[in-house]
Structure 1
Amino acid sequence: MLQPFEPEDEVLSQESFSRDEAAFNLIHTISASSDSWRLKSPDGRMIFAQTPGRSGWLWLDPELAEQEMLARMQELKNALMTRATLQEAAPTSFELPGISAKPHIARLFSDLYAGVGCWTSSMTMEAYHCPIVNPPRGVKGGMQRVEATERLLAAEFLAGMVRDVYGKPADGQGQLTVADNLIRDGRLFFWIGDTGDPSAMAGIGGTSPRHGRINAVYTPPDRRRRGYCSALVAEVAGLLVERGLIPMLYADCVNPDSNKVYRSIGFQPAGKIEDIKFDRQP
């Protein structure tokens, strides 16, 4: 039977999961939230974490045979369906709209949970980690922490990122809360280009025992291909290195430009994650 676990549970520091820590950084971030739903198998070879209303993240020990994986996935499906039955008063927040996992695992679970042909692949991401940062040379400008007075511009940059990455309509007003939280915590940065204006943005997301995640990366279209993004990401990566962490980030596999930028400053592939959305609930 699957068991709930606490944010600092030893299952998150076991050797087999630690080998996948960079790719599954978000499991640490989700698990740290008090309202997340966290489950593990008794032997620790399956971990599931979900923020209410969001896709769940699923890790399975890669050394398990496929039939063993399927057996654990069936246990997870049963637990999810039991949860939905017990929480009928708030069905939306207790639904599982999708799953994020290694591509093979994500597809196996989606077939089992939603049914063959009843899901859609939303995005495949490459997780990158950066053992040694290789900053670009000759980029004009410098990094500056985003101030509260710049919240509107930061929110507009975040909306641009949402439109670029997820292909969804977004405006600055809808991103103000995210911008305010990042600015309040001192985790959001601009690159001030040679014109004296903010020309790129990047932030620091969640951390795990050995890794720190870079997120909120965006460059306005008219300021791209000038090195601003690579210079800023390298600077933010340096901040994480100073804290004793290995920088990591996720990049959409269909965007060759961003993948090229990250590789050029020292980021190395650490595993693919596929995000799948379910077309129906079981």
Structure 2
Amino acid sequence: MTIHQVAHGIISDAALSRFERGENELSTQSFLQLLPRLNGNPDYLQYGYAGLDLANPLAGPSGTLKTYHDWGLHLLALFDKTGWPYYRLAGIERLIITDTYTQKGEATRDMVQVVLTHLNQVQPWGTFEIRLASRLTRSSLLEQSELLHLLEQCWAVARQHATEMEIAWSESPFAYAVIACQAISMELIYRNQFAAAMKVVHGIEQLPLNQNLSLLYNQTRTRLYLAYHEHPGEEINNQFLSFAQAWQGTRFAEIGQKNLTRWKDYVKKENRKHDD
């Protein structure tokens, strides 16, 4: 790419040229906007730092909600110290996820707005933005119009990145974009918008999911939720309980238990509706 192709619409060609020669610095906002054009993302760069940071909570055992939550607080503290916007975005992302399972209420509407503003400012999305969107779609703090707008953007990303290598890679832009669409389908179910959720599920099934077990797992879970809504009963409930056994004995067992609790609450709610 030429200097002009990278810089156009963000900074001047001369400013980027001086930066390349080490003669000036870029603002953090300009840096974040330029990275996706070079197929880069701050998340990748930040992992190098995280591995050297002795204060990083994930230096210990990983995979639990507590370490994920503590890492989020750690990143937000680093934002307060440095002003580097990546820290704030990554910290918010982690609090949104832990709130999904713990209901602590630490993620706020203001935090959601910070993430939405960033996603609207940076186009096209890099891997960091795609993953950030996939986390955000799980938040009940999103308004309906925002949820559907993210769905359109994630559809576009999933179709764009549906290559053989990315389909089979659990950390790929394709996987994160599909995960975001799947999270939206679940959020629509929680909001009692079952027809809209089914439409999303049908759309996802037009994408090549067969090489990615995580995506197939999510799709099965959503299908069972919709099936129970249509035909509540012990057969589907038992299918979900058997399905949930996959979490046992893994480092994600805590999250699996939270998913099971949400399912049981959902079953009670659906049974009450059908009884009425």
Fold equivalence (TM over 0.5): no
Query: Which has more radius of gyration?
Result: 2
* TM-score for the superposition, normalised by structure 2: 0.33
Greater relative contact order structure (CA < 8 Å, 6+ sep): 1
Query: Which structure dedicates a bigger proportion of its chain to strand?
Result: 1
Structure with bigger helix share is: 2
